[in-house]
Structures are given as structure tokens and as C-alpha cells.
């Protein structure tokens, strides 16, 4: 039987020349000795990028044996977290920063909040969680619900805020909503202009079709939602 990564046609080569996105690198702890966890680290591309930036106290976890074996071969500290309760007990109140990139959508709906609670337990009192999930409100919409067969839930800003809040997180902040970080001035200006046109068009047709968005929720239209939350 094929593993997840094999079935998805993903290998370490897929992440060749991978660099941390600006929205993440700009929000890493300044103290590079602080413990950081990459939850659902895959082939370790984020861990390798962190190591290249000088972060030395980094740990990854995953449930795929092939991915874990590869990470270890690269000199990374990566553990199997199939038994999540055991892993949480081992690292309770341990991490200053946890990264969870495109992992939460693989959990069943009944597991999502309990999983976030377990992540919160592994953070120190002032620790932060950086989480990225596919965005159901994006231009590609439901595509990401079905492109990966193992996805169970897509999120909007309102639903990811909800599950984080119910899990006990505070100071929930949406990051780089317009995806402008790391762009040149010209590209930032052009993208911001085109996005404003997109929003006007979208809101116009919402009125025509008697549709609407939940007003308290942030409007985010990129393929992923990036959010930072404190314990």
C-alpha cells in the first residue's frame, strides 16, 4: 500500500530550494535558542530552513514513517506522534513556538478542537501557535477540499477563529491577509489595486444574488489562511 506522500507524488525533491515565507520568518522568536515544534513536519523542509537560519532547538513530529526516516537522515530531531497524548505528555509546557502548516484540515471535525487543546498544552505560558490552513473563501474555493482526498475540513476566517477560541487560545491574529509581505513596492501596489477591484466585484454580485459574508469575520481571499494565536 502506498504511503500518503507517495500517493500524493511528493518526495523530498518537491521541496528543493524551499525557503520560509516572509510572513513566517518575520514572526519567528528573536531568540534562536528557544524550543520550536513543527507539528506535522513532513519531509522537514521547514525544519531545514529553520536550521539554516540558525535555530538550534527545533523538533518535528509526524505520523509518516517514510518522512520521519528521511528527516532523521538529514540530522533533524523528528519523532512519531501517532500517539498524540503520549507526545503531548512528554512535551507539556515545553515550546515557545509551534508551527502547524496545512495539517489541521486532515483531522476529522470531532478531533479538531481537542487537537488544538493538546497543542496549547505543549506551549509555554506566553507561547505562540502559527497555523496555516486552506481557505474555503479563496478564489479556488472548494478545490482544496477535494484535491487532497485526506482533507476533511476547509476553513474560513470565522471558523478557524472559532475553533482556536473554543480551544482556549487568546490574541488571535490573522497574518498577511493580502499576501503582500516579501513583495517589491511595485508588486505590492499592483496586487493591492487588483485585490480591491476583486472585492468590489465580489460584493456587487453578493448584493445582486442576495448573498453575504458573516460581518464579524475577516475577509481573506488567498488560498490559505495564516493565523497566529497565543496560549
Distances (CA, A) of 92 to 59, 87, 117, 128, 140: 14, 9, 11, 14, 38
- Residue 170, C-beta contacts closer than 8 angstroms, at least 6 positions apart: 229, 230, 231
Q: Which CATH number fits domain 4-182+222-230: 3.50.50.60, 3.90.1300.10, 3.40.50.300, 3.40.50.150?
A: 3.40.50.150
Provide the phi-psi class of 67: left if phi over 0, else alpha when psi is between -120 and 50, else beta.
alpha
Q: To the nearest whole percent, how much of the chain has pLDDT over 70?
A: 99
Domain range list for the chain: 4-182+222-230
Provide CB contacts within 8 A for 57, sequence distance 6+.
32, 33, 34, 35, 36
Contact 126, 211 (CB under 8 A): no
pLDDT tens string 27-53: 999 999 999 999 999 999 999 999 999
Query: What are residue 130's DSSP bridge partners?
Result: 99, 228
The pLDDT, as a whole number, for residue 1 is 57
pLDDT tier for residue 150 given thresholds of 50, 70 and 90:
very high
Instruction: Give the pLDDT band of residue 222 (cuts 50, 70, 90).
Output: very high
pTM value is 0.93
Distance in angstroms (rounded) separating the CA atoms of residues 70 and 78: 10
pLDDT in the model for residue 2: 64
* Confidence tier at 116 by pLDDT (50, 70, 90): very high
Rg (CA), the chain: 18
Amino acid at each position: 500500500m502506498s504511503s500518503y506522500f507517495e500517493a500524493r507524488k511528493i518526495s523530498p525533491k518537491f521541496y528543493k530550494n524551499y525557503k520560509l515565507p516572509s510572513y513566517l520568518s518575520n514572526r519567528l522568536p528573536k531568540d534562536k535558542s528557544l524550543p520550536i515544534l513543527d507539528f506535522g513536519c513532513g519531509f522537514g523542509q521547514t525544519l531545514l530552513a529553520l536550521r539554516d537560519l540558525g535555530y538550534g532547538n527545533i523538533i518535528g513530529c509526524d505520523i509518516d514513517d517514510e518522512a520521519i526516516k528521511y528527516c532523521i537522515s538529514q540530522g533533524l530531531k523528528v519523532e512519531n506522534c501517532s500517539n498524540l497524548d503520549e507526545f503531548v505528555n512528554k512535551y507539556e509546557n515545553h515550546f515557545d513556538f509551534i508551527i502547524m502548516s496545512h495539517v489541521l484540515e486532515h483531522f476529522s471535525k470531532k478531533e479538531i478542537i481537542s487537537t488544538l487543546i493538546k497543542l496549547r498544552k505543549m506551549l509555554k505560558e506566553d507561547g505562540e501557535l502559527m497555523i496555516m490552513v486552506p481557505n474555503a473563501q479563496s478564489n479556488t474555493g472548494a478545490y482544496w477540499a477535494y484535491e487532497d482526498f485526506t482533507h476533511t475540513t476547509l476553513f474560513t476566517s470565522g471558523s478557524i477563529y472559532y475553533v482556536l477560541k473554543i480551544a482556549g487560545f487568546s490574541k488571535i491574529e490573522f497574518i498577511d491577509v493580502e499576501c503582500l509581505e516579501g513583495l517589491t513596492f511595485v508588486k505590492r501596489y499592483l496586487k493591492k489595486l487588483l485585490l480591491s477591484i476583486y472585492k468590489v466585484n465580489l460584493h456587487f454580485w453578493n448584493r445582486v444574488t442576495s448573498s453575504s459574508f458573516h460581518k464579524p469575520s475577516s475577509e481573506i481571499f488567498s488560498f490559505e489562511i495564516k493565523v497566529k494565536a497565543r496560549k
